[in-house]
Structure 1
Amino acid sequence: MSQQDDFDRGMKNRRAVLGDEWVDKSLNSATAFNAEFQAFFTRYAWHDIWGRPGLDHTTRRLLVLGMTMALARWEEFEVHCRGAVRHGVPLEKIKETLMQGAIYCGVPAANTAFKIAMGVLREEGLVPAPQSLAADARIAQHHTFSEPQLRVAVQGKGAPVMLAHALGLDHTMWDDLAARLATTNLVARYDQVGHGGSAVPPGPYTLDQMVDHAARIVREWGQGPVVWVGLSMGGMVGQGLAIRYPELVKGLVLANTTSQYPQEAQAGWSQRIETVNQQGMQGIVQMVVERYLSEEFRRTHPAFTQALRETLLRSDPAGYAACCHGLRDVNWTDRLREIRVPTLVLAGGKDVGTPPSMAKAIAERISGAVLHQFDGAAHLSVAEAPDEFEQQVRSLLARIG
């Protein structure tokens, strides 16, 4: 019966991180001169350090990439980069590690690291899709000069479309749809006040204030009137924009949203505000994820679900709670008949936060509004039914011409 020692335990970790091919090559090339050294770092590095319970292997892999990048140990960097890629470390996490290294290790080091990493991706058949930085393809990002400063991203060419995100998220919620629409339209999206890269002034915020911010962005952009595509909070802002600033809107997509909450739902919003103020985003994140995505989607798309969770946890609790005040008090119902632009109302059949009945109430009050339901989707219908969502938006754009 073989007896396992610290060398064997270290070797198990070493193979798990770097792969059998590299480790076998190293072991087979050992000599009487360096064999003790091989055994030494296998025990102490690969067992005593990589075997510690405090950090998972993905975190340790990323730390090693940053450290070898800082020290310009490029052979070690390449070995660990290849191991990370082959063992499923998300490319986004590797990219972010190298991006942060550009600040702390220097741009030349990051340049070399990205070059080596791209070589590894080519060898592994994982070359990322092209993303041109040409003037007509680049995503231009900036902040408004007026206060509060709001982060804006613009891409594409053509008739202007503005995308407005849901509570707790940011403009990256629209990455996929924005890229699709940018093939035919000039697309802008922004981080609403208290969210993402935008300012977080003291709250609470009213919905009228958020509508004023939207009007300011459209005016500063100088491309209006726009087709406004808003989901959830973005849809509430869109209703107010079309009512209070009709000259800035030529079409309206209101997805997974409401014009007014019943009294019992308003009480739920007050409880949510209290929870966030006391516990931060951790206190509500699970509830929000379960509302935003259907159970089936969460089960079949674990990576997306985890990314959503991480985005919500990064959201500023003060900004989130400040916006909740405005959403709790939304009350556009009696003014919806003032909206005179082509309007598309979208609902998720599994949406418990803003159920189809709320979408129907909006569509019934806007002259000529078209109502469409995504039967299998919950609150983030643009994520659960991206093709159908795009098709519906394009149907409105075609109506407007």
Structure 2
Amino acid sequence: MSYDPLDHDFERGMRNRRSVLGDQWVDRSVANATNFNADFQNLITRFAWNEIWGRPGLDHKTRRIIVLAITIALGRWEEFELHVRAGLTGDATTRLSPDEMKEVMIQAAVYAGVPAGNTAFTHAQKILREVGEQIGYAVVPQAPAGSVHPGVGHEGRTVSSPALHYTLREPRNGKAPRHTVVLSHALGTDLMMWDGLANLLAADCRVIAYDHRGHGSSEKIDGLYSMADLADDAARLLRELDTGPVVWVGLSMGGMVGQELALRHPGLVRSLVLANTTSAYPEAAREVWQQRIATVRAQGIEVIADAVMGRYFHEGFRAAQAATVARYRHRLVTTDAVGYVGCCHAVGTVDTSSRLGAIHVPALVIAGELDQGTPVAMAQALVDGIADARLEVITEASHVSAVEQPAVFAELVCGFIDGL
């Protein structure tokens, strides 16, 4: 057998080291090696860069994050700076954006201490100023009081009445929004049901979520509401925020509002996602809605809560995700009864069927395979009535499909938006 003089462990380590830290830094490090530290350089190249960085169990971007967090916790600032610079300017497939780098330091501050986080930000910002032009990032002044949680966005209320509570997430990429997307929730829930999808879309879109009147933190008014009332509420919100035409994503009641909005205020709607919703109920179902109103008025929301959860979530989901169901049940029973009853009337009397042909924007209609409240046939009626509409049915989903099957729901919505 011939002898191979190549040290494969060393060569693999050097390959990983160059990939992570860049040729320039590695060349300088190798050039500075001496008879005193060459053995150590050889050791870390074989051990750290091959034995650890060469393991396929974690990708290099994840390993970058781990190293950053550990060096912050241990206060190894020279090594931290090395990996910050490499993480910002390194291989495009494994580098971190400045926002991702910021998230690492914020989380490290909680677990390793605020002083460590503060020092990390000082070192990282110095490097960002040096490499900002290279990576297309500018460090500019910003008042701390103006910062908002990126997972929530700016919170506000409309000036007009009834006051609507909303959140607004600007695109995280710092560029002009690709679209403005509005997320409209189901009866008895609130804007929090959209947090996951909102944060996903806010990568490059402006995303608005809001609470319907009488729900969440929005103002209630006495009396029974119509779907036209709720659509006009939405129009007020969009005009106050000067959104222009929006991509409307509505589930159940939110989908009904979207239809009415497109009919009453067509200039405000760019496209529609109508999920688990209908254009009208048959007479028997309308009577059920009136019975629900009477029950809530007489006995409160608690007495209907379990039945509503049974409609919202299928049996398998209720068994597997009991905590999630409990959270939605709590939200339902803490909804103001006046607002809930008012919106029940709007839902129970919805009727856009004969007017669907006047909707002239692209529409994605989503149905849940197991949805008893708005079954697939109702979704098909929407598709039949709207000229540019298509239907997608989510398996193993009942009425609140965005919660039961969030990944599938998000994939459908994102794919639809990408095609606009």
TM interval, shorter chain, is 0.5 to 0.7
| Number of residue-to-residue matches in the alignment | 275
Q: CA–CA distance in 2 between the matches of 1:207 and 1:156? A: 29
Corresponding residue to 1:211 among 212, 216, 231: 231
Matched with 2:218 is 198
Which secondary structure does the structure 2 equivalent of 1:234 belong to? helix
Corresponding residue to 2:153 among 118, 131, 139: 139
Matched with 1:256 is 276
Matched with 2:351 is 331
Corresponding residue to 1:393 among 404, 409, 413: 413
Deviation at residue 396 of structure 1 after TM alignment = 1.6
Asked whether 1:314 is paired with 2:334, we answer yes
Matched with 1:376 is 396
**Residue deviations 1:91-130 (CA, integer Å, cap 9, x gap):** xxxxxxxxxxxxxxxxxxxxxxxx9xx56999xxxxxxxx
Q: CA–CA distance in 2 between the matches of 1:358 and 1:308? A: 24
Which secondary structure does the structure 2 equivalent of 1:205 belong to? coil
**Residue deviations 1:30-70 (CA, integer Å, cap 9, x gap):** xxxxxxxxxxxxxxxxxxxxxxxxxxxxxxxxxxxxxxxxx
Corresponding residue to 2:169 among 155, 172, 175: 155
Q: CA–CA distance in 2 between the matches of 1:287 and 1:237? A: 24
**Residue deviations 1:210-266 (CA, integer Å, cap 9, x gap):** 110011111111122000000000000000011111100001000000000000000
Q: Is the CA contact 1:150–1:190 (under 8 Å) kept in the aligned structure 2?
A: yes
Q: CA–CA distance in 2 between the matches of 1:279 and 1:121? A: 51
Name the aligned partner's letter for residue 209 of structure 2: R
Name the aligned partner's letter for residue 164 of structure 1: S
Q: Is the CA contact 1:136–1:155 (under 8 Å) kept in the aligned structure 2?
A: no
Name the aligned partner's letter for residue 327 of structure 1: V
Query: Aligned pair in 2 of structure 1 residues 120, 317: CA closer, same or farther (>3 Å)?
Result: farther
Matched with 1:294 is 314
Query: Aligned pair in 2 of structure 1 residues 221, 120: CA closer, same or farther (>3 Å)?
Result: same
**Residue deviations 1:161-184 (CA, integer Å, cap 9, x gap):** 000000001111111111111112
Q: CA–CA distance in 2 between the matches of 1:134 and 1:181? A: 20
Which secondary structure does the structure 2 equivalent of 1:251 belong to? strand
Question: Sequence identity of aligned pairs in percent?
Answer: 43
Corresponding residue to 1:171 among 186, 191, 203: 191
Q: CA–CA distance in 2 between the matches of 1:120 and 1:247? A: 51
Matched with 2:384 is 364
Asked whether 1:220 is paired with 2:234, we answer no
Which secondary structure does the structure 1 equivalent of 2:419 belong to? helix
Deviation at residue 370 of structure 1 after TM alignment = 1.0
Deviation at residue 136 of structure 1 after TM alignment = 9.1
Q: CA–CA distance in 2 between the matches of 1:328 and 1:251? A: 24
Name the aligned partner's letter for residue 332 of structure 2: L
Matched with 1:241 is 261
Asked whether 1:281 is paired with 2:301, we answer yes
**Bigger CA radius of gyration:** 2
Q: CA–CA distance in 1 between the matches of 2:220 and 2:308? A: 21
Query: Aligned pair in 2 of structure 1 residues 271, 120: CA closer, same or farther (>3 Å)?
Result: farther
Name the aligned partner's letter for residue 267 of structure 1: E
Deviation at residue 156 of structure 1 after TM alignment = 2.8
Deviation at residue 368 of structure 1 after TM alignment = 2.0
Q: CA–CA distance in 1 between the matches of 2:290 and 2:388? A: 35
Which secondary structure does the structure 2 equivalent of 1:162 belong to? strand
What do you get for the CA RMSD once the two structures are aligned? 2.0
Mapping for residues 28-107 of structure 1, pairs under 5 Å = none
Q: CA–CA distance in 2 between the matches of 1:209 and 1:121? A: 50
Asked whether 1:345 is paired with 2:365, we answer yes
Asked whether 1:266 is paired with 2:266, we answer no
**Residue deviations 1:264-294 (CA, integer Å, cap 9, x gap):** 0001001100110011110110011010011
Deviation at residue 388 of structure 1 after TM alignment = 1.0
Q: CA–CA distance in 2 between the matches of 1:370 and 1:121? A: 52
Name the aligned partner's letter for residue 306 of structure 1: A
Gaps of 5+ in 1: 1-114, 123-132
Which secondary structure does the structure 2 equivalent of 1:284 belong to? helix
Q: Is the CA contact 1:251–1:396 (under 8 Å) kept in the aligned structure 2?
A: no
Q: Which stretches of structure 1, 4 residues or longer, exceed 3 Å deviation after superposition?
A: 118-122, 133-138
Which secondary structure does the structure 2 equivalent of 1:321 belong to? helix
Matched with 1:303 is 323
Q: Is the CA contact 1:337–1:365 (under 8 Å) kept in the aligned structure 2?
A: yes
Query: Aligned pair in 2 of structure 1 residues 270, 135: CA closer, same or farther (>3 Å)?
Result: closer
**Residue deviations 1:70-100 (CA, integer Å, cap 9, x gap):** xxxxxxxxxxxxxxxxxxxxxxxxxxxxxxx
Name the aligned partner's letter for residue 170 of structure 2: G
